[in-house]
Amino acid sequence: MQTESIRSVLVVGGGTAGWLTAANLAQSFNSAAPGAISVTLIESPDIPTIGVGEGTWPTMRATLQKLGIKEEDFLRSCNATFKQGTKFVNWQHSEQPGSYHHLFTSVSDPTQFNLAPYWLQGDAGNDRPYASAVSAQGVIAELGLAPKKITNKAYEGVLNYAYHLDAGKFAELLKQHAQQKLGVKFISANVLDVTLAGDGSIAAVITDVAGTQQADFYVDCTGFQSLLLGKAMGVGFCSVADTLLADHAVTIQVPHASEDAPINACTHSTAQAAGWIWDIGLTNRRGVGYVYSSNYVSHEEAEQTLRRYIGPAADSLSARKLAMQVGYREKFWHKNCAAVGLSAAFVEPLEASAIFLIEAAANMLADQLPALKQNLPLAERKFNSSFLFRWQKTIDFIKLHYALSGRTEPFWQAARGKQLIPASLQDLLQSWQTQPVSAYDFAHVYEPFPMESYQYVLYGMGFNQQLADPQRYRQHDKAAMYFQRVQQLTSQLQQQLPPQRELLAKIYQYGFSAL
């Protein structure tokens, strides 16, 4: 029994998590070839997918490339657009309007040469915001320009970029591709029951129209229900509702006023009295949603706030309300089952962590799923410690946005209450008051958010950093060279890069070259 090999994987649940994981596993295992490990996905024809995650990280480019999906096919079939970061509006103050960018490209990798101490000393000019001192991308995104040209090859950017996408269409694309190209077997059926073996591992999944399904390994992609890991195996849920206060979202899809309406080149995130509103531009519509805490605003009032934000265009549109379980499972992998997606964990979509952590989980699963059952316990330990770390760091990073806000409404005052800030984040904030953010603050290889992300948010939010020993940072000439380079790039790229829509139209017509 213990030397048996793992020859089959059953993914339970579709959606972005299910199909992305199944596709990744099948690609890695070469499941289309005879005799390879089989990957099967069961999806209910009746349960709609949640599909809140419509923003990705730049990692999605490598993921799509690995799966063998052409960039132009992805862009076309998912109404996808290029995302160059996030613009945070009014996060700092309630009364005084203001905004900052969290970008994907910096002129200098801060782990190699950190420009922040020089920006703090005024080397980039006294009034220049941090983001526009170290990156040309903020200006490019504000102008609605694309991060690349038609002459760039597929998945290559002049500036680093991610995507905005229609999650429903994305799951559909992956579903077709996974079956046709990667050898994933598809079963359309409802899961009625999950049975356990004597040792507590999953024995079988019982369906309504496809009988009893068994596999050597199971992946739980059943969303908030967590049918396998949570319900059947009884793995508990660690709520972080006392750290991240938002517990609901209300969303509206807003069609563009015209076919040539400009598309935002970054996610917009605008602070409100009891949360924040996301605004994501696809080719055919915007996806807009208010993430809020029902302890501080009624559902009706939240929807009214969202409608006011959208304006008259919202009048004829229907809104959808979602309850969010914020937190993570005590374990993400238990015996012969791993959970990916909402069944594993969820935090508010402030930094587009949902899809990004699905990719990460699928990658690690594809690499770490052992060939022999006897090696499952070790793989389980590695996976659990890795993802506990990644989710806790994700929660820290989301919390950072709230911890630094000076907004005065009760929700915001509660959200930055010191007792609610994780100790790991408090330690970092304490040290950053007098010394720069350091690469050694992010020593883990699988740190979900890099050093530069923390810098964009810290300095964008006006964090008061007083370097205790500025003498240590005296490479002023080198820093000045970088700051000047950003200014040159900013004006050059404005001339060279096309508007989002213009590039997308060309891609639809000509596609990208493979080289």
Q: Interface with other proteins includes 495 (CB under 8 A)?
A: no
Q: Is 257 in the site for other proteins (CB under 8 A)?
A: no
Only segment of 406-414, 436-444, 465-473, 502-510 that touches other proteins (CB under 8 A): 502-510
Total interface residues for other proteins by CB under 8 A? 12
- 118-124 own/partner pairs: CB under 8 Å, 24+ apart: 118/473, 118/475, 118/476, 118/479, 118/480, 118/483, 119/459, 119/483, 120/436, 120/465, 120/467, 120/470, 121/467, 121/470, 121/473, 121/476, 123/476, 123/479, 123/480, 123/483, 124/479, 124/483
Binding of other proteins by 318 (CB under 8 A): no
And the tokens for 387? 């993802």
Q: Compute how many other C-beta atoms are within 10 angstroms of the C-beta atom of residue 234.
A: 11
- What is the C-alpha separation between 254 and 226, in angstroms, rounded? 31
Sole window of 61-69, 100-108, 146-154, 284-292 interacting with other proteins (rule: CB under 8 A): 146-154
The pair of structure tokens assigned to 454 is 């923390």
- The answer to the question of residue 514 lying near other proteins (CB under 8 A) is yes
Under the binding rule (CB under 8 A), the answer on residue 231 touching other proteins is no
| Sites for other proteins among residues 322-361 (CB under 8 A) | none
Closest CA to 53 of 318, 321, 400, 347: 347
Does residue 515 bind other proteins (CB under 8 A)? Answer: yes
Residues 6+ apart with CB under 8 A from 63: 20, 24, 359, 363
With beta carbons less than 8 A apart as the criterion, state whether 338 and 346 touch: no
Comparing CB distances to other proteins, the nearer of 168 and 511 is 511
**Is position 512 an interface residue for other proteins (rule: CB under 8 A)?**
yes
Q: What is the SS3 assignment for 351-417?
A: HCHHHHHHHHHHHHHHHHCCCEHHHHHHHHHHHHHHHHHHHHHHHHHHHHHHHCCCCCCHHHHHHCC
Residue 201: how many other CB atoms lie within 10 Å: 16
Q: If binding is defined by CB under 8 A, does position 505 make contact with other proteins?
A: no
List the one residue from 32, 150, 187, 261 that touches other proteins (CB under 8 A). Answer: 150
Q: Can residue 33 be called a binding residue for other proteins (CB under 8 A)?
A: no
Q: Which is nearer to other proteins, 149 or 285 (CB)?
A: 149
Count of other CB atoms within 10 angstroms of residue 236: 9
151 binds other proteins, rule: CB under 8 A? yes
Q: Is 508 in the site for other proteins (CB under 8 A)?
A: no
* Site for other proteins contains 70 (CB under 8 A): no
Task: Report the first-to-last Cα separation within the chain, whole angstroms.
Answer: 49
Q: How far apart are CA 448 and CA 397, in angstroms?
A: 9
Q: Which of 66, 83, 175, 185 is catalytic?
A: 83
Options 66, 76, 149, 181; binder of other proteins; rule CB under 8 A: 149
Q: How far is the CB of 84 from other proteins (least distance, A)?
A: 20
| Segment contacting other proteins by CB under 8 A, of 127-135, 255-263, 287-295, 507-515 | 507-515
CB 150 to other proteins: min, Å: 4
Residue (of 75, 487, 59) closest to 283 by Cα position = 75
Q: Closest separation between CB of residue 464 and other proteins, Å?
A: 43
Q: Least distance (Å) from other proteins to the CB of residue 160?
A: 20
Residue 389 CB, nearest approach to other proteins (Å): 40
* Interaction mask 428-457, other proteins, x per CB under 8 A: ------------------------------
66 is catalytic: no
As a whole number of angstroms, the distance between CA 207 and CA 193 comes to: 7
The alpha carbon of 391 is separated from its chain's Cα centroid by a whole number of angstroms, namely: 12
What is the per-residue binding string for other proteins in 88-127, x denoting contact by CB under 8 A?
Answer: ----------------------------------------
- The yes or no reply on residue 419 touching other proteins (CB under 8 A) is no
From the CB of 508, what's the least distance to other proteins, in Å? 12
Q: Give the range of 27-35, 184-192, 444-452, 505-513 binding other proteins by CB under 8 A.
A: 505-513
Which amino acid, residue 69?
A: I
| Residues marked as catalytic | 83
List interacting residues with other proteins (CB under 8 A).
Answer: 149-152, 506, 509-515
